[in-house]
Amino acid sequence: MLKIIAKSKIKDGCLDQYFASVRELVEKSQAEEGNVSYTVNRLESDPSVVAFIEVWKDRAAFEYHVKTDHFNGILPTLRDYIEESYPAEFYTEVEYEQIE
């Protein structure tokens, strides 16, 4: 499985618009065949920092996701609300059978 954390800091006064815009992206992404989990989360110590935490069955499922109409249609709108983006972090789960 592929796990991704993509964080952004949202501009002051834009959180409501950001969350309204992101709702469709979350719902449609969760419905994709290769999606295991797709959520938006707020940092407890700074609620203006949000993170998409995504789990995809494999890299191919993620690559399909970034080509979808809903991803590419909503992303430009979200950029209007973002003060700062941080590089996405990609993780693969450690399977203990592989390291023994």
Containing 98, the helix (H) or strand (E) segment is helix 96-99
Handedness of CA 53, 59, 61, 66 (dihedral sign): positive
Domain ranges of the chain: 2-93
Name the CATH topology of 2-93.
Answer: Alpha-Beta Plaits (3.30.70)
The pLDDT tens digits for 23-70 are 999 999 999 999 999 999 999 999 999 999 999 999 999 999 999 999
Question: What does the pLDDT average to over 60-84?
Answer: 95
Specify the pTM: 0.88
User: Is the separation of the CB atoms in 41 and 53 below 8 Å?
Assistant: yes
